[in-house]
Amino acid sequence: MADKYVPTREDRFSFGIWTVGWQGTDVFGGPVRPPMAADRAVRKLAELGAYGVNFHDNDVFDFDDAATERDAKITAFKKALEETGTVVTTATTNLFGHPMFKDGAFTANEREVRRFALAKVMRNLDLAAELGARTYVFWGGREGAESGAAKDVRAALDRYAEGLNTLSQYVLDQGYQIRFAVEPKPNEPRGDILLPTVGHALAFINSLEHPEMVGVNPEVGHEEMAGVNYAHGIAQALWHGKLFHIDLNGQHGPRYDQDLRFGAGNARGAFWVVDTLLAGGYDGPVHFDFKPPRTEDDDGVWESAKACMTNYLILRDKVRAFRADPEVVAALAASRAGELAQPTLASGETWRDVRETTVDADALGARGLGYERLDQLALEHLYGTR
């Protein structure tokens, strides 16, 4: 198995620095692992087969670092990137950790916070551009509210749009080759977060000044926290031409944000995620945003990181085998799955040509669609028994 599922640079796997670097602090307990310098994360991830990384500014240096400290840490980070040939595919800003962001950043009621947030992003956009990142993620984890009067949602959306518009202009004016990707989440750490699902984010993007610069970065767990189908979500994003990035991980439905390694959580869902990415021609980084559980030491951190990639490779194999299986092809035909690609109106037809359509309703009602057969074939491919 080792040979077959060992990641290569061509697989374009990437990780957030904060994933393997998570120390395990949660609401009920403190850190269980020591801090990890960004450069160590880079070296270890490269060793495991990742080709790229994503970082928040404060994954590399601390919020309060003096300039020299900051620069030293960035230098070490760059050195590790260079020495390992690791690509910075993506970057993002920590606009949620510091207490000043407790009410959000772009949509904080306090204008001073909003202005500083823009400055903080611009500074990290410079670093991102310097490091060659092509995608810049916006996860608005603190943009939201626990109670109704606290946040005027329409005003907040105005400010959210203003923030992204300003930053789009910054990128254009600087000539950076960077696109934005909005990452939706329904709740946690806020009671309700603005742009809670991939749908809300896609709709919002259409109202921006530079919609062409902005797409989405859907995360498996975030969509599953809302009980919606992640594969359907990325399919709709692809349909809109807006799947700029993905965050793969695992989750068990509506509950706290689990950030399990990819493959854990909804195993059948993961199969369809990979199928959707392959079918949709997604060519961005295959990015993992997970948290090694608090039960793990340093070894466990790397076990879980490696497993994200292994599981993707296994599922990719299975998906290809599924689509190539003649029994599947036959079952898809029996389910008339391909017929859906055929327009409802023939070329040249208008509503006039269907206005008087009649059917044998009873016959259509009695016809089965054979989806159980089809789904069982998929499950047996997942099991590896066919």
Window 331-350: residues binding a second copy (CB under 8 A): 331-332, 335-337, 339-345, 350
The verdict on 324 binding a second copy (CB under 8 A) reads no
DSSP assignments along 298-364, one per residue:
HHHHHHHHHHHHHHHHHHHHHHHHHHH-HHHHHHHHHTTTGGGGS-SSPTT--GGGTTT----HHHH
59 noted as active-site residue: yes
Of 42-50, 67-75, 130-138, 369-377, the segment contacting a second copy by CB under 8 A is 369-377
Nearest residue to 371 via CA among 324, 331, 329, 320: 331
CB of 46 to a second copy, least distance (A): 20
Q: Which amino acid is at 212?
A: E
Three state DSSP letters for 175-210: CCCCEEEEECCCCCCCCEECCCCHHHHHHHHCCCCC
| Residue 75 beta carbon to a second copy: minimum distance, rounded to whole angstroms | 23
62 binds a second copy (CB under 8 A): no
Let me know: does 208 contact 240? Beta carbons within 8 Å: no
Provide the minimum distance between the beta carbon of 3 and a second copy in the complex, in angstroms, as a whole number: 12
Using CB under 8 A as the binding rule, whether residue 210 contacts a second copy is answered as: no
Contact residue for a second copy among 303, 320, 325, 330 (CB under 8 A): 303
Of residues 65-94, which lie at the interface with a second copy (CB under 8 A)?
A: none
Strand segments, DSSP code E, in the chain are 13-16, 52-56, 87-92, 135-139, 144-145, 179-183, 192-193, 214-216, 286-288
Does 261 bind a second copy (CB under 8 A)? Our answer is: yes
Q: How far apart are the first and last CA of the chain?
A: 17
Of 186, 181, 161, give the one whose Cα is nearest residue 284.
181
Residue closer to a second copy by CB (options 79, 206) is: 206
Q: State yes or no: is 360 an active-site residue.
A: no
Q: Which stretch binds a second copy (CB under 8 A): 9-17, 49-57, 84-92, 267-275?
A: 267-275
- How many residues of this chain bind a second copy (CB under 8 A)? 172
Question: Which of 71, 83, 102, 321 touches a second copy (CB under 8 A)?
Answer: 102
Between 84 and 94, CB nearer to a second copy: 94
Find the shortest distance in angstroms from Cβ 89 to a second copy.
Answer: 22
Burial of 303 per CB tally in 10 Å (0-12, 13-18, 19+): middle
DSSP 29: B
Q: Which helix (H) or strand (E) holds 74?
A: helix 67-84
Among 16, 196, 218, 284, binds a second copy (CB under 8 A): 196
Q: Which of residues 135-154 bind a second copy (CB under 8 A)?
A: 141-142, 145-154
CB of residue 343 vs a second copy: minimum separation in angstroms? 6
Q: Is 209 in the site for a second copy (CB under 8 A)?
A: no
Question: Active-site residues: which are they?
Answer: 56, 59
